[in-house]
A and B are shown apart, each in its own frame.
Chain A
């Protein structure tokens, strides 16, 4: 490989200064990696804990299906918000962006409703490990959604930008959309694990049928 003068990295501008939006995109992917590790470890802990004789699965409250639908809707809205922002279409951006944020907020509300249903059924945090994991996993996922809403509120400032400047600021909305999709995937995996994973499946995977 020749080591004579190399072209400037695509990551920098002509002035040589780094591109903030690319940096933010990279950082988000890294954070997605961190959060994936985080939730994966919890799922591993969940699977390992199932092995104890006191395992007693709990039924999922129906509100979780509503939550799922809200999160799917949120992803769709945010995706659309991203494309309208890039296109400079501020008229369409506003409803999509607001809907995306509202859907995420409603998701958190729906999750809390599900919690209330469990509490009413006397399924509490302590005393049943399946319940403990349920509350912890949904709480941590919900906190990540709330964090996303903080980023959303910063991106929403784009709404007040003049239409001409919209494409330049669109990256914030796009990153929010990417994060929304990530949290949807995480939720899908968590929901599946909570609802479907059994000690038998775990033993099969670990080769101790």
Chain B
């Protein structure tokens, strides 16, 4: 095919060798699998770390090699891996890369070479992070929030080398994310096929699109704070370091502000949770529609909600700092903005539920995961209202209530969407179906297990058990039953961790033995299901790009014979999106 530009950034010929097809590939689909595979592998490391942590919490002192130093290193690496290197990379680099070009009718991302580079830079950041396990002093144990001054002072594990590698790894990751982000946003803005207006894009694309804009604007804050902390650590500047006495020694720093770091970190950190959540929201909308055979309720409202949540996410950050010692008057503002952001989020929950109402609900594995998402996101989101309301937060901050909240809303809920989403799109990616029995088994264990772990945990927080405690020896106000609950949670967590191997096994086993999939096994409407080949070949669409005549939710439209109308069916097939005159 001819390109208007004789541009050496585009592949003119199909990649031929194994290396150009699967390693140095510029094909967004391959890059997506590279991102996804790396993220899942590093996520398994994070999972093992969490099991090690739970061994200590449930059975303190029993496992001698988990001493205080190691415990805090596990806590820190687990958190950072899961939030950044698993969830962010998987949703943006994995789902984003795979779905965006296919769902908007493009051949690839607009900058395939930079897309390829972004994966290798991400991989480099993972390697640098893993290297911190092997340096003198081990990885940093400062908590994933890396607060100064402690992160770079003796008394915190990894204060010598681990923190440096952590910060360098993050800076490299941010370069990768920026490269990827420029790609995804430009592709959505520029490479949509004929007829694909913004308001005909599936919500998966909207979620990833807005999340990517958030990433482009929020990660700089982490970069800024990372550079400044690196300089404080290596060259003795005092951006964040006040005059202090560490282990009996008066230090050379003075005048710096630890709170400045926290403001910068959370200016990044709060949008970060929406960078993870918004793609999940988008995917959920698509999974519900397809598997309930019903148009998403209130598509435009859903788009607006995603955009508004994204915008508001930049003005709520200091709800992570209500008890930080910042100017107390900020508390009023940030509690208000935080509770306001609950409104568009609630609308989304209502609309998902209303999509189910009067639907034709097929209880497939993706639908099961979606329903589990509704429960866990509702639960996690509602507990956010406790923490966002400043005075209620005061006794709950820094306790297990916070740990339970963020695991429910960031760990469990989005991860359920990952499982359901991969289950849903696996037939398109590989041409085979995932095994249904394994899928259901994995679902039930994961769903019930995560609820059993995190629901009761909230109550330990209300009791007042602080988080990031290596053990609770000597605190008599904590009843023995609380320690028994911790034992129970640990046992469930270990079992749950092991059960994830069912999913990994399913992914690999089904590659070879899975039932061969038709091109559109779920009878969905969105464009990705209508590639000429399944799995789609390089450049996706064959000689002619698709053109689109309706939205992606033409399920059971009045007067239609089938219960769905593909997005690229001819205009005469009907299925036009609702007009906006009311």
A17 contacts which chain B residues (CB < 8 A)? 1, 3-4, 107, 545
B260 near A30: Cβ-Cβ < 8 Å: no
B182 contacts which chain A residues (CB < 8 A)? 27, 30-31, 34
Contact of A129 among B223, B238, B549 (CB under 8 A): B238
Give complex CA distance A20, B106 in Å: 13
Give complex CA distance A33, B213 in Å: 10
Contact of B571 among A4, A45, A53, A168 (CB under 8 A): A4
The answer to whether the Cβ of B369 comes within 8 Å of any Cβ in the partner chain is no
B190 near A3: Cβ-Cβ < 8 Å: no
B70-89 with Cβ < 8 A to chain A: none
A9 near B231: Cβ-Cβ < 8 Å: no
The answer to whether the Cβ of B470 comes within 8 Å of any Cβ in the partner chain is no
Query: When A5-B549, A48-B260 are in contact, do A136 and B110 touch as well, CB less than 8 Å?
Result: no
Give complex CA distance A20, B113 in Å: 13
Interface-located stretch among A36-44, A69-77, A94-102 = A36-44
Query: When A1-B580, A126-B235 are in contact, do A23 and B217 touch as well, CB less than 8 Å?
Result: no
Contact of B217 among A34, A42, A136 (CB under 8 A): A34
The answer to whether the Cβ of B577 comes within 8 Å of any Cβ in the partner chain is yes
B102 shortest CB reach to chain A, Å: 15
Give complex CA distance A41, B218 in Å: 10
- The 7 A-B residue pairs whose C-beta atoms are closest, nearest first, are A54-B255, A126-B236, A38-B220, A23-B110, A16-B545, A52-B255, A18-B191
A148 shortest CB reach to chain B, Å: 16
A44 shortest CB reach to chain B, Å: 8
A30 near B186: Cβ-Cβ < 8 Å: yes
A15 contacts which chain B residues (CB < 8 A)? 1-2, 4
Contact of B194 among A4, A9, A42, A127 (CB under 8 A): A9
B194 contacts which chain A residues (CB < 8 A)? 6, 8-9, 12, 16
The answer to whether the Cβ of A200 comes within 8 Å of any Cβ in the partner chain is no
Query: When A3-B550, A15-B2 are in contact, do A125 and B190 touch as well, CB less than 8 Å?
Result: no
The answer to whether the Cβ of B273 comes within 8 Å of any Cβ in the partner chain is no
The answer to whether the Cβ of A22 comes within 8 Å of any Cβ in the partner chain is yes
A37 near B220: Cβ-Cβ < 8 Å: yes
A112 shortest CB reach to chain B, Å: 17
B235 near A125: Cβ-Cβ < 8 Å: yes
B157 shortest CB reach to chain A, Å: 25
B181 contacts which chain A residues (CB < 8 A)? 30, 34
B235-285 with Cβ < 8 A to chain A: 235-239, 252, 254-257, 260, 263-264, 267
A132 near B239: Cβ-Cβ < 8 Å: yes
The answer to whether the Cβ of A144 comes within 8 Å of any Cβ in the partner chain is no
B218 shortest CB reach to chain A, Å: 8
* A–B pairs, 29, beta carbons within 8 Å: A5-B571, A6-B195, A8-B194, A9-B192, A11-B189, A11-B192, A15-B2, A16-B193, A16-B547, A19-B190, A20-B110, A22-B190, A23-B111, A26-B189, A27-B110, A30-B181, A30-B185, A31-B178, A31-B182, A34-B178, A34-B182, A35-B220, A45-B224, A48-B260, A49-B256, A52-B256, A53-B255, A54-B255, A136-B231
A19 contacts which chain B residues (CB < 8 A)? 4-5, 190
Closest residue of chain A to B259, judged by CB? A48
A26 near B190: Cβ-Cβ < 8 Å: yes
B206-237 with Cβ < 8 A to chain A: 216-217, 220-221, 223-224, 227-228, 231, 235-237
